[in-house]
Amino acid sequence: MKKIILLALLFSLSASTFVTAQTKRSQKEMLATTYHKSKTTVKSQHYQFVANVIHNSQEREILDGAINEIRINKSEVSGQLNGFSKDRVIHILKDNNSKIDTSFNDDNQQISIAIKTAAYEMIIEVKPNGNAFLTLTGKGSSELLYTGKLVKL
């Protein structure tokens, strides 16, 4: 009788472990919805990058996302990004004929956007979790790194 009870207990434990193992989702599956939303936003060619943080290897500063944004509408790029507050520099972006190259890596769920305007070059990397990282390089100025999000307009 004890053997039957132990055997039944063993089967019930192994069955619950088997069921739980099948329901676990991979990280890639969990982030797929966010990635596809970002991909749809970029494919619309009408979106904006909202910057929340500026940083480099030594400092980090929180920005006001309401004024630190870049709007992209097909080949038109406009907006502004503040530099570090100690530098008191504001980068104004306005170009009606920008060159924009976009690539989608579905295997890694990453999006890369390269933008060239008359005065600036930008690279936006969108990660599977929806976070976006912008690198801004101006003619004759140093490279600035921003963290933020892409938002559909």
**Predicted model pTM:** 0.81
**CA 131 and chain centroid, separation:** 3
Q: What would the two tokens of residue 139 be?
A: 């003619």
The reported pLDDT for the residue numbered 15 is 61
Query: What is the full DSSP assignment across 89-136?
Result: -EEEEEESS-EEEEEEETTTTEEEEEEE-SSEEEEEEE-TTSEEEEEE
Cβ–Cβ under 8 Å, residues 146 and 62: no
- pLDDT (tens place) for every residue of the chain, 153 residues total: 667 776 676 677 666 555 555 556 777 788 889 999 999 999 999 999 999 999 988 899 999 999 999 999 999 999 999 999 898 889 999 999 999 999 999 999 999 999 999 999 999 999 999 999 999 998 777 799 999 999 998
The residue behind tokens 């530099």 is: 83
By CB neighbour count within 10 A (0-12 exposed, 13-18 middle, 19+ buried), where does 77 fall? buried
Q: Which CATH class is domain 3-152?
A: mainly beta
pLDDT at residue 101, rounded to an integer: 97
- The pLDDT assigned to 12 comes to 73
Query: How high is the pLDDT of residue 87?
Result: 86
The C-alpha atoms of residue 120 and residue 134 are separated, in whole angstroms, by 12
- Domains in the chain: boundaries: 3-152
- pLDDT of amino acid 62: 95
| pLDDT given for residue 68 in this prediction | 96
Size of the chain in residues: 153
